[in-house]
Structure 1
Amino acid sequence: MTTNLTSDRVALITGGSGGIGRVAAEKLAATGDAVALLFSGNQQRADEAVAAISQVGGRATTIRADIADETQMAAAFDQVEQEFGGIDVVVNTAGIMLLSPVAQLDLADLDRMHRTNIRGTFVVSQLAARRLRSGGALINFSTSVTRLQTPGYAAYAASKAAVEAVTLILARELQGRDITVNTVAPGPTATPLFLEGKPQELIERIAGMNPMGRLGTAEDIAEAVAFLAGPAGRWTNGQTLFVNGGVA
């Protein structure tokens, strides 16, 4: 990670303690953004992420909150504003993936995904719409599975298709605010969310389906986040950006 600390912007990253969220936080911190890493469970992992950013001269803090709880999230936004003076970028990577064919799906799993992936995205997006400063950016997360029609992914893909709908409409609702709203839709990416529970043979087969011959990495996705969060991405608004090496 570089230490080109040239920005005075502030970013809030949900799911920021691991996977794509952590790498995105490191990427934004490397350009000088102060970053608040929001997490729901593992305090040690969150502290390690903050330590890694601090060691190269970045500014970072952690906040524990449930993204689907509007009271906790409002308090999280308050904390970031009090500590850093405002919020310019919100990166909403937090989400869960529970897989099953439609006929066998436990509806409790459907409800869990709806709560985190849809309600959580809506809560974060609503607060971002109210709190982001002019020139800000909201970046939500979908998945390329919404276009791949992969068996077993129906409920997860449905929850992420809702994220795309909310994002695209919100971009238009914020007309005149100078705030961009976009969605990043990764393909299969080598993170714990994707790898957990999959046999190596399946992972290799999925990687082989990509024209680039590999899975994506968290770094690949973080590059797209940095683009949308930075000055180069100001004319990209109301879009779903598929970052998947050409798999869909």
Structure 2
Amino acid sequence: MADLYGSYSELAAAETEGVDYERRQVLVAGATWCSLAVHGGGIEGGSGKAARAVGAGLMSHYEFAGLKPSGNADLHVTSTNFDEPVGEGIVRASRHCLSFHGCTGTTGLAETAVGGLDVDLVARVTGRLRSAGFSVVTAPSEIAGTHPANICNKTLASAGVQLELSRAQREAFFPGGDLTRAMRDSGRRTETFHAYVAAVRAAFQDRGRVSSDGRLVISG
């Protein structure tokens, strides 16, 4: 289904900030990485919480969050058209970007489709997640995150990483698989959530190498 809005400016002209959506940022002084969720809040539930936890203290964080009681899908602006100036500015000032999204995926299958133009970091994130026991697949073309205009690729290196978390994977982050706003805002998280966040954060300081199959091989 096509997006209702073709850009942030179109969305902002029709929706009310603070009622329908919020723009959230947490800047980390001296950070050269950023972690973001441009479809956070109720748009792709759980993606914003994952992005913020991964970035905490290590990376600057940005989230565009849907606040509507229903119909948050209307606030989805695809990543190649996402031009909100605060988020775009954070990415353009960063060397590396981790962009978190939610996809439907296969019912009941918890997995992450990883893509983007930062091929080294794609391999490192993939390796860390697999080593922690998470299912990771190469992102199919429709969610590959390889278009230069994708928000994740607007870094100083013109490359970033896009993580598409299936609904089952995001449900596994919250007690009872509850993706409602009440649960997301409650602060309650599962051990799966904490393990996932730790695995992605490990890629930040990863000094290992990655084998041809994408698995992490520790060296030195």
Per the normalisation by structure 2, the TM-score is 0.43
Larger Rg: 1
Q: Which has the higher contact order (CA 8 A, sep 6+)?
A: 2
Specify which structure has the higher proportion of helix.
1
Per the normalisation by structure 1, the TM-score is 0.39
